[in-house]
Each structure stands twice: as structure tokens, then as C-alpha cells.
Amino acid sequence: MSDNNTAVIIASAIAAAGEKDAGYEARVKAKIAEIAVAINDESYIKAAEAVLNAKVFTGIVESMVLEETSKRGVLTLITQPSSFHPDGKETVRTERTDFDESVLPMMRHIRDNLKGHKVAVWIEMQPSADNTRKFRVLRHIKDLGVPAEAVAQAG
């Protein structure tokens, strides 16, 4: 492992350990072990690479619903109208809810807390099973707050 990786692991563990109290050193060492193991775990590596290689764009959350046929969440964003989306609405799907336990909490968070908020989304293009189409798959979402226009209208 490189010195940079070691330094990042230690810094991350210190940041996650919280207050310096009687259990601080033990928490730092436990976090160091967790992070060191995680950076060699193929599923974590794939998750990190999916975010790092994702396309990023912004929009305003209109809705998040479960698509029963695919068992995926469907996020609808209001964006600028374009030739691909003349109505200015774009959709992004999540991973399947029956394969990834992190999907449902994320869907609930978007549905319950981000409706009407401007967000940045990180998407990965994934081919369909028959390789005839590509789907946008949500990898990460960041809340950018309530758009200024909505705040002005409310005030």
C-alpha cells in the first residue's frame, strides 16, 4: 500500500472517530481496520468506480416512485427542455430494490425530503439485458437546496 493510501486511511479514520475521549484511540484503530478492509473489497471498489466514472447533471426532484415491473426506483427530475426531453423531464432509475439493500432507504429519503429540491445526480449508463438500450442508473445524489425561484414565490 502506498504512503498516500495509508495517510488517507488514517485521516478518514480520525475524521470518523468523533470526540477525543477514553475510547477515541480504539475507535480510530477500528476505523482504520474497516477502511483498510473496505478498499480491498470488490463490491466497494465497484461502487466507488461507478461514482467516479459517472455523468453528473442537475435538476429539480419531481417524484420518486417504485416501478413494480423492474423493482427499481424511478426518479423524475425537472430539467431544461432538450431535443431528447422536450418536456424538460428526465428519469433516472435506481438499482433493483430486491438486489441492493441500500436502495430503499435512498428512495425514501428522496421521496420524503428532496421533492422540490435542486439536486446533483451521478448516473451510470447501463445496457439492457438484450443490449438494445441503455438505462441511466443513479449512483449518488446531492441536495443543493430549494431553488431560489421557489423561495421567492413562497416569500
153 has a pLDDT exceeding 70: no
State residue 155's pLDDT score.
Answer: 52
3 has a pLDDT exceeding 70: yes
39-60: per-residue pLDDT in tens? 888 888 888 888 889 999 999 9
State residue 1's pLDDT score.
Answer: 57
State residue 36's pLDDT score.
Answer: 86
146 has a pLDDT exceeding 70: yes
State residue 67's pLDDT score.
Answer: 92
Residue 48 backbone dihedrals phi, psi, to 5 degrees? -65, -45
Residue ranges covered by each domain of the chain: 3-40, 50-153
CA distance 9 to 116: 37
CA distance 104 to 108: 6
72-121: per-residue pLDDT in tens? 999 999 999 999 899 999 999 999 898 888 899 999 999 999 999 999 99
State residue 150's pLDDT score.
Answer: 59
CB 33 within 8 A of CB 121: no
- With a CB cutoff of 8 Å and minimum separation 6, the contacts of 50 are 124, 139
149 has a pLDDT exceeding 60: yes
CA distance 104 to 88: 26
The CATH code of the domain at 50-153 is 2.40.50
State residue 142's pLDDT score.
Answer: 96
